[in-house]
Amino acid sequence: MIFRTSENNILAVGSIWGGDGLDFISTLNRLESSYNEINIQLHTYGGSVFDGNLMINAMENSKSKITLTVIGIAASMGAIALTAVKNVKIVDNGYIMIHRPSSGVFGNADDLESESRLLRMMDADFEKRLIARTGKSKEEVKEWLSRDTWFSAELALRNGLVNEVIPSIVEPIYIDEGADELGELEMYNRYACALLTEPKVWDSNKQDNNFNLNMKQLLITALALTSVTAQSSDTAVADAVNEKFRELQASLDLMKQAKVKAENDLKAYKASQITAMIDQASKKAVQAFTEDERKMYQNIGENSGIEALAHVLATVGKPAQGPDISGQIGKGGKEGREAWSFDQWQKEDPQGLEKMAVDNPEAFKKLFNEKYEK
């Protein structure tokens, strides 16, 4: 089989011979190191089951997302290879052929029996893969494998062998292998194609250059680098990226420092405002606040806010009106307070409201917010 690559594309054409599995693994690994998505174009009449299995295993275990497109024929082991990839496409004039594995062997009865056992194991593997891929019953898959079963593109789509049928695109590629290496059939195909189309030379060196330039340009654009271009050396681009990260880190450190300073300034301003409000209220009170009273009002301001403290301090020094106890006789003086509003607390028991702000700030906040509809 012949393998050719261009950027993230692999062209795989010809029969699968012994050793092609290792060549495919090497080709796929090389592209995996540079690309997260890989496209494989396949045209094969089948071949070695063992090397085909190597190709299947490589595709199934690939870290890249693989799309496989049948550009002509996927027959025999080539059809089984389709089961390794989730996303399989076929050109509208492509074909797939499925049959049981076969082999030729020379030797004694033991040799023939051993070969027969191997073929039956291969049969079972083919059945398992096709059932998993298509969702068909074992009996239907066995029927497919019992002879050369051909599928057109549309028939392959209906039976779950492929995911999509696409228009055929002829884009021949000039391959410089000799006639002996290609074989009679492949040589004829290449010669006939060359008569009808202009050869296209595949530049295998271009892919790495394009990839490096694209990666550099992505970094330059994303980080807004101005000192380098896509044509700059890898070292220059790396230095520019590191310098940009240092600038961003320095900017982040400055913003963190500014945030901490702003939070501290706000906290200090709030504390000074609370102290000033307590001092002013203490001067207006009949008797100056004691240290414990100042701490109580300080806690109200810190826990419930400046506005709550202002309303509490507004009641200081005012004579407390006697509570309406007509509905509480025989029930205890504190029963029924659960339904009191903020205004009722201020009217009936302002000292109790102050105590609530210290002992139960959540309940105090709830009353305060209900009054002012916050």
Mean pLDDT of 335-354: 78
Are 65 and 165 found together in one domain?
Answer: yes
Residue 101, domain member (yes or no)? yes
- C-alpha 119: how far from chain center: 42
10 phi/psi in degrees, rounded to 5: -120, 125
Does 189 fall in a domain? Answer: no
Q: Is pLDDT at 81 greater than 60 in this prediction?
A: yes
Residue 317 has pLDDT above 70, yes or no: no
| Block residue for tokens 């079972």 | 124
29 plus 153 within the same structural domain: yes
Q: Is 227 among the residues known to form the active site? A: no
Report residue 323's pLDDT band, with 50, 70 and 90 as the boundaries: very low
pLDDT tens, position by position, 292-316: 888 888 888 888 788 887 878 877 6
The pLDDT, as a whole number, for residue 187 is 57
Distance CA 73, CA 97 (A): 8
The 10 Å Cβ neighbour count of residue 151 is 21
pLDDT tens-digit profile of 90-112?
A: 999 999 999 998 877 778 888 88
Report yes or no on 191 lying in a domain: no
Distance, C-alpha 328 to centroid of its chain? 66
Kindly state whether residues 115 and 131 are assigned to the same domain. yes
Q: Which of 6, 34, 64, 99 is catalytic?
A: 99
Task: For residue 43, indicate whether it is catalytic.
Answer: no
**How much is the CA Rg of the chain, to the nearest whole Å?**
41
DSSP 30-91: HHHTT-SEEEEEEEE--B-HHHHHHHHHHHHT-SSEEEEEEEEEEETHHHHHGGG-SEEEEE
Question: Cβ atoms within 10 A of the Cβ of 211, count?
Answer: 15
Q: How far is CA 197 from the centre of its chain?
A: 43
**Over 70: is that where the pLDDT of 200 sits?**
no
Among 48, 76, 282, 304, the active-site one is: 76
Q: How does residue 348 score in pLDDT terms, banded at 50, 70 and 90?
A: confident
Q: Is residue 255 part of a domain?
A: yes
> Mean of the pLDDT values across residues 351-371?
79
Q: Of 243, 266, 284, which one is at a domain's C-terminal end?
A: 284
Residues 269 and 346 in one domain: no
For the chain, the domain total comes to: 3
Give the distance from CA 265 to its chain's centroid: 42
Residues 264 and 312 placed together within one structural domain of the fold: no
My answer on whether 45 and 165 are in the same domain is yes
- Identify the domain containing residue 82 by its residue range: 2-169
The answer to whether 79 touches 46, Cβ cutoff 8 Å, is yes
**Global pTM value:** 0.47
Question: Any bridge partners for residue 98, and if so which?
Answer: 149
Whether residue 182 is contained in a domain is answered as no
Residue 373: band (very low, low, confident or very high) from pLDDT cuts 50, 70, 90: low
Note whether 262 and 301 are same-domain residues.
no
Considering only residues 361 and 166, tell me which one the structure prediction assigns the higher pLDDT: 166
For 149, phi and psi rounded to 5 degrees?
Answer: -105, 115
Q: Is the pLDDT of residue 47 over 70?
A: yes
Q: What is the pLDDT of residue 241?
A: 87
CATH of the domain at 76: 3.90.226.10
Asked whether residue 74 falls in the same domain as residue 20, the answer is yes
Task: Tell me the pLDDT band of 331, cut-offs 50, 70 and 90.
Answer: very low
Does residue 345 sit within a domain? yes
Q: Look at residues 151, 12, 142, 152 and name the one whose alpha carbon lies nearest to residue 84.
A: 12
Cα dihedral sign, 264-266-272-278: negative
Query: What are the tens digits of pLDDT across the range 156-168?
Result: 999 999 999 999 8
In the predicted structure, residue 319 carries a pLDDT above the cut 50: no
Output the pLDDT for position 371: 74
What is the rounded average pLDDT for all residues in the chain? 82
134 alpha carbon, distance to own chain's centre: 28
Looking at residue 320, what is its pLDDT? 45
> Any idea which of 23-27, 66-70, 178-182 has the lowest mean pLDDT?
178-182
Q: Give per-residue pLDDT as tens, 110-143.
A: 888 888 888 889 999 999 999 999 999 999 999 9
Per-residue confidence band for 184, with pLDDT thresholds at 50, 70 and 90: low
Mean of the pLDDT values across residues 11-40?
91
